[in-house]
Structure 1
Amino acid sequence: MGRQLDEQIAGRFPVGQRLRVLDVGMGQGTQALRLARAGHQVTGVEQDPRMIATAREELAGEPEGIRERVRIVQGDGRDTGVHFLPGSFDVVLCHGVLMYIEEPDPLLAGLARMLAPGGLLSLLVRNGDALAMRPGLSGDWAGTLAAFDTTAYRNRLGLDVRADRLADLTATLAGIAAPLHAWYGVRVFTDTAADGTGIPADVEALLAVEERAGKTDPYRGVAALLHLCGVRG
């Protein structure tokens, strides 16, 4: 999904512009570091001290010029208004966070307020319209039947979490003045791969297939994850 994000950034901002990026729920800092390496100024927000320690360890191995472009704030993504002024960022990322939040609308409204006019909001969520796909493809028929009528699921960590439907998020983004600009499917064909599966020899072909499917109907609609990009009006 890094390619998808890069595509949206390239389509919205002048080449070479150093963007102000906020990564809410930055985890181990994978996207934050990637964007810092590309020349952007990145602020990461993360609650989990273990994740922050890992991110700092990764950052310590980078050249000084990149280290200077990354700031890490320990905190809750719902408290962005405490830490930052409205309109302070050109790009706001919130990847893999919404599934852990019971009521995501206040969080999303807060993230939209962080965006400067024309800014990009990038969300990665579990696809609530396709929860039956994983149990169905693994032959769990009882689980498949149960998945059709819910947005609740148990993730691979054994946690009870929630998914989001495209139509609901489209309405939410319109309501917070960051209407949906583009959306992609992520993990269309690879969601059932076992944890710890090694990188296949034909990884470039796999990435090409996933990238194509993630942009193409009807495939993107049954992806495990949705990548939504809203633009601040």
Structure 2
Amino acid sequence: MARQLDEQISGRYPVGQRLRVLDVGMGQGTQALRLARAGHRVTGIEQDLTMISVARKALSAEPEGIRERVRIIEGDGRDTGVHFLPGSFDVVLCHGVLMYVEEPDPLVAGLARMLAPGGLLSLLVRNGDALAMRPGLSGDWGAALAAFDTNTYTNRLGLDARADRLEALTATLAGIGAPLHAWYGVRVFTDTAADDAGIPPDVEVLLDAEERAGRTDPYRRVAALLHLCGVRG
């Protein structure tokens, strides 16, 4: 997914431009640190104290110049209006968050308000049109049949979560003034891999295959996750 995000950023902004990035639900800070290393100024919001601790530890190991470009805020992504003025960011990331939000539309609308005109909104969501794929490929036929009639599921952490559908999110983005610009599938071939699976020797070929499938119909439509990029009008 990093390749997809980099492609969208490089396609919208001149090479070398230092962007203001908001990472909502930054987790352990992997994406935030990667963007800070590329020269961007990143603000991360996270409410899980354990994740914040991990992110701060990782940040502390970076050179001073990178540490100065990252700000971490303890908080909820639904409260961005409390912390920032509208139009404060060039790029807003919300990856792996909407599946834990019962009503996502207000959150997404709030994130769009944080964007400057022409800014990029990047969402990573569970694909509601492909919920039957994981149990089906794992041979759990009862769960596969049940998945056709719901947008909820239990994730690998044992938490109840919800999925989004491409058509609905496309309408949401259009309605909040950040219409869909591009979308990709993520984890087309690798969704059933074990969490503790080692890195295969041909990982670069694997990544190339995933990247190609994530851009190509019909493969991207059955990906476990969808990466949607909207652009603020």
Instruction: Please state whether the residue corresponding to 1:183 is helix, strand or coil.
Output: strand
Cα distance in structure 1, aligned partners of 2:31 and 2:86: 22
Residue 106 of structure 1: how far off its partner (Å) = 0.6
Residue 48 of structure 1: how far off its partner (Å) = 0.6
Q: Give the equivalent residue in structure 2 for 1:185.
A: 185
Relative to the length of structure 2, the TM-score reads: 1.00
Cα distance in structure 1, aligned partners of 2:50 and 2:194: 24
1:85-100 matches, within 5 Å, as: 85-100=85-100
Query: Displaced runs of 4+ in structure 1, greater than 3 A?
Result: none
1:163-202 matches, within 5 Å, as: 163-202=163-202
1:1-233 matches, within 5 Å, as: 1-233=1-233
Cα distance in structure 2, aligned partners of 1:159 and 1:46: 18
Residue 79 of structure 1: how far off its partner (Å) = 0.1
Instruction: Please state whether the residue corresponding to 1:198 is helix, strand or coil.
Output: coil
Residue 229 of structure 1: how far off its partner (Å) = 0.1
Residue 149 of structure 1: how far off its partner (Å) = 1.2
Superimposed CA distance per residue, residues 41-76 of structure 1 (whole angstroms, 9 cap, x where no aligned partner): 000000011100000000000000000000000000
Counterpart residue identity of residue 134, structure 1? R
Instruction: Please state whether the residue corresponding to 2:103 is helix, strand or coil.
Output: coil
Superimposed CA distance per residue, residues 63-121 of structure 1 (whole angstroms, 9 cap, x where no aligned partner): 00000000000000000000000000000000000000000111000000000000000
Cα distance in structure 1, aligned partners of 2:172 and 2:203: 36
Cα distance in structure 2, aligned partners of 1:194 and 1:113: 38
Instruction: Please state whether the residue corresponding to 1:215 is helix, strand or coil.
Output: coil
Superimposed CA distance per residue, residues 12-42 of structure 1 (whole angstroms, 9 cap, x where no aligned partner): 0011000000000000000000000000000
Residue 135 of structure 1: how far off its partner (Å) = 0.4
Superimposed CA distance per residue, residues 190-219 of structure 1 (whole angstroms, 9 cap, x where no aligned partner): 000011000000000000000000000000
Superimposed CA distance per residue, residues 112-163 of structure 1 (whole angstroms, 9 cap, x where no aligned partner): 0000000000000000000000000011110000001110000001111100
Cα distance in structure 2, aligned partners of 1:36 and 1:149: 42
Cα distance in structure 1, aligned partners of 2:214 and 2:145: 25
Q: State the identity %.
A: 85
Number of residue pairs the alignment of both structures matches: 233
Unaligned stretches of 5+ residues in structure 2:
none
Relative to the length of structure 1, the TM-score reads: 1.00
Superimposed CA distance per residue, residues 162-183 of structure 1 (whole angstroms, 9 cap, x where no aligned partner): 0000000000000000000000
Instruction: Please state whether the residue corresponding to 1:129 is helix, strand or coil.
Output: helix
Unaligned stretches of 5+ residues in structure 1:
none
